[in-house]
Amino acid sequence: MFIYCENCKWTQDDFWHEGYNPYEYMYTQGNKDLLFSGKLDEVFMSEKYDRYLGYIGNHPMTNREFLVKEMRRWADTIEKQRWITIEEYRKENPEGMCPNCKRKTLIED
């Protein structure tokens, strides 16, 4: 479940719990295996999709770049998350006021 503003489109990551949170998603066994694979500067191939996942500049992303990108993405999520759990959100903001545009237009989805 997450919240978004129907006025200005502000949003944050899904609410976090034991099974879904930045820590669980950053420190996966797959990422740890990649770190010790001896192939940090080889092109990152998604096992799920069996293809390149993206480009950095004009070259396919390497395993090293993938790991750094993942860590930055989750660090960014931690910086931006306004409310960690749905309970915290409902207690602190019962009127659903958007932290960006200050209108009472937050929607739970």
- Closest to 89 (Cα-Cα) out of 109, 70, 75, 72: 109
Query: Of the two residues 78 and 101, which places its CB atom closer to Zn ion in the complex?
Result: 101
Is the C-alpha dihedral spanning 36, 42, 47, 53 positive or negative?
positive
Min dist. Cβ of residue 102 to Zn ion (A) = 7
Query: Of the two residues 77 and 105, which places its CB atom closer to Zn ion in the complex?
Result: 105
Query: Of the two residues 7 and 77, which places its CB atom closer to Zn ion in the complex?
Result: 7
Q: Say if residues 3 and 87 touch (Cβ distance below 8 Å).
A: no
Cα separation of 52 and 62, whole Å? 9
- Which range in 7-15, 44-52, 57-65, 85-93 contacts Zn ion by CB under 5 A? 7-15
The answer to whether 10 contacts Zn ion (rule: CB under 5 A) is yes
Residues that bind Zn ion (CB under 5 A): 5, 7-8, 10, 98, 100-101
